[in-house]
Chain A
Amino acid sequence: MSKVNEENWTLIIKPENKFWDLRLGELWAYRYLVRLFVRRDFVSTYKQTILGPLWFFVQPILSSVTFTFIFGNIAGLSTDGLPMMVFYMSGIICWSYFSECLNRTSSTFTSNAGIFGKVYFPRMIVPLSGVISNLMRLLIQFLLLILFMIYYIAIGANIHPNWAILLTPLFIVIMAGLGLGLGIIISSFTTKYRDFTFLIGFGVQLLMYASPVIFPLNEIKNPLYRTILEYNPMTPIIEGFRYAYLGAGTLSPGLLAYSAGFTAVVLVIGTVIFNKVERSFMDTV
């Protein structure tokens, strides 16, 4: 066997890899593919439309108008003294980035079985590029929010952007990591057990109501409900985001650290499971 060890094999295929062998270097080697996948998503989404990327504006505007009407006017929920439009829009933008990442990632194996069945490349490329493509959409919607903010500031509404804006990259990284991490865990299970596809369908929607999207956190006085809300790792993100851009909400370093830690754990667990499943999912998908 000593002779074997002397040779420079480029690739060794074994039934199982050690769970810590995540082959992150391979991901780096394929970084160009990530770029192309992102481009493909972006181009194919708005091709043959007249409005093109402007369509990304439509969803948050219509949702915000609807929420303003139903939750603000009919149900009369508090918006922390903020103009309803920007209050809902900030929540919706954050939430839809997270849920889009989660939704897309969770169907990685099932919706790419065709291409995965023919050729090998690190499977993680697909969810990663999904998260990055969604980022483009987030940025466009973010511009929309800024436009609305400028308008409201111009008419003298109660909006106070502050230093916490500097935390924006952190918010985005946590949202992306959380969506990606949960998504790859779910996608790994759906290769064998399709049960999870049902769960994700309504689960994400329900989860939105357990996040401060349509109400501010400090309106929740019931200690039980408040604890539940605070255990939701998306809560500190949405609240912090609102605090930074609109000046109302809670920015809690403790909760934010909890959220970041939660995301890191989910990401690590997700990557390990994903790496294990990607080796043989073609047999079960």
Chain B
Amino acid sequence: MSIAIELHNISKQYRLGTIGTGTLSHDLNRWWAQIRGKEDPYLKIGEENNRSEKGKSDYIWALRDINFQVESGEVLGIIGKNGAGKSTLLKILSRVTSPSTGEIRIKGRIASLLEVGTGFHPELTGRENIFLNGAIMGMTRREILSKLDEIIDFSGVERYIDTPVKRYSSGMYVRLAFGVAAHLEPEILIVDEVLAVGDAEFQKKCIGKMQDVSQKEGRTVLFVSHNMAAVKALCNSALVLKNGKVDFPKGNTDLAIQHYLKLEDELMAIPLIDRKDRQGKGNVLLSHLEFINSSGQSVGQLISGEAAEIRVHYRNRTGEAGLNNMIGILVERNDGFTVLDLSNVYTGHPYTWNKEKGYISCVLDKLPLSGGNYYIHLILWQNDSLQDWILNAGNLTVEEGDFYGTGQTSTGVKVPHKWNFS
């Protein structure tokens, strides 16, 4: 097998804060060093990218000394938490920005599915936009011509193909844009699933296209995702990034996923109130997460089919009661699949915060989860402002129980249901 991509000591430094008059003096220093043939003085400083802690230096390393190789035909999963450097790495690979140090060698054309619809001009017709978009992504005129019919077919907008795209419905627009991207046929494809969130249909198409490209055509794929199920299903190797460094070197996908999940478990060992990886204004903070079983005891394990309560404790730092508050509890299977999405918004029960502290209980008459491990994400809102948001705030172990009262166990989410036979 030949090597498709090779990274040597890739690092990327960013300057934090705003760009203003102070920048000029740094630029002059840098320029002066360059003239004397010295190394950039600011590349010697900088610290690890740990967003949650306030650092001393204005310079941070979004990526630090990344080394790996990708063989052609390999499907490599790149996993890591938000801010681990995944997107920066992809930006460097797709040449949107350049690394601060190191070198990357690439064999073959590289294209990414984040470019969908780039350069579409509303006044141009669908056909004109296919050519424009294709050319921006590096296709030659002949390539586009040979794919034109396929692209039009794929996007199903034949009737509108000579109409300006500003008259398209949003669905048609996306289909056309994706059609061009899907027919690009690069040797190396970059898929950033994290950026594609919000459009399930599109996400599905991306993954479908990826499967085609890697399995049928044997092309190289770099896949960035939070969805461990997708990584597991698609990738034949994976690596884990953490704070801009390779935390788990490229290797077996299952082991990499295990490593990633272990990182999360380590986080969960920290008491909720001390967690740093949170977002929001923080007037009210999540302080503790409890699971209460049917006999009212705080436990670490709940049983399917029995009454259960998820109790979220909070601390109010404003010292004043607050109206119109919302809470969201997301329960995820350990492969990243969301099984429960609970919120007082859905049930229409806004509540008032206590002055200092209190707790919110979500009561489930019959716990509908099957046996297994689950992660809990918590989010607090007041009116329209995010107060506190913690991913992987805790994990819940569920023991399989008698949900249906028949002694039978089932998989998936359990829902009371009836049957009619005729």
Binding site for B on A (CB under 8 A): 4, 7-16, 30, 32-33, 36-37, 39-40, 43-44, 47-48, 115-121, 192-193, 279-280, 282-284
Contacts and interface: CB of A to CB of B under 8 A. Distances in A.
Given A30-B135, A119-B118, A121-B138, A7 B98 contact: no
Interface string B38-75: 00000000000000000000000000000000000000
B140 interface: yes
Interface residues of B, number: 47
A115 B103 CA distance: 25
23 contacts: A7-B2, A7-B105, A9-B105, A10-B109, A11-B106, A11-B107, A13-B93, A13-B95, A14-B104, A15-B98, A15-B99, A40-B128, A115-B136, A118-B96, A118-B118, A119-B96, A119-B115, A119-B137, A120-B94, A193-B24, A282-B91, A283-B14, A284-B19
Q: Which 7 A-B pairs have the closest CB atoms?
A: A120-B95, A279-B98, A13-B104, A44-B123, A33-B135, A11-B106, A9-B105
Contact of B131 (A36, A119, A280): A36
Nearest to B139: A32
A12 B103 contact: yes
Residue in A7, A9, A48 with the greatest tally of chain B CB atoms within 10 Å: A9
B3 A7 contact: yes
Interface string B101-136: 111111111101011001101011000100110011
B121 A44 contact: yes
Interface of B: 2-3, 6, 14-15, 19, 23-24, 27, 91-110, 112, 114-115, 118-119, 121, 123-124, 128, 131-132, 135-138, 140-141, 164
Given A43-B124, A283-B14, A12 B104 contact: yes
Contacts of B91: 282
Given A40-B121, A119-B115, A12 B24 contact: no
B123 A43 contact: yes
Contacts of B138: 30, 121
A32 B121 contact: no
A36 B128 CA distance: 9
A273 to B, nearest CB: 12
Contacts of B105: 4, 7, 9, 11-13
A117 B278 CA distance: 28
A48 B131 CA distance: 21
A282 B104 contact: no
B414 to A, nearest CB: 44
Given A9-B107, A13-B104, A115-B119, 18 more contacts: A4-B105, A10-B109, A13-B99, A13-B105, A15-B101, A30-B135, A32-B141, A43-B124, A43-B128, A47-B123, A118-B118, A119-B137, A193-B19, A279-B97, A279-B98, A282-B91, A282-B96, A282-B97
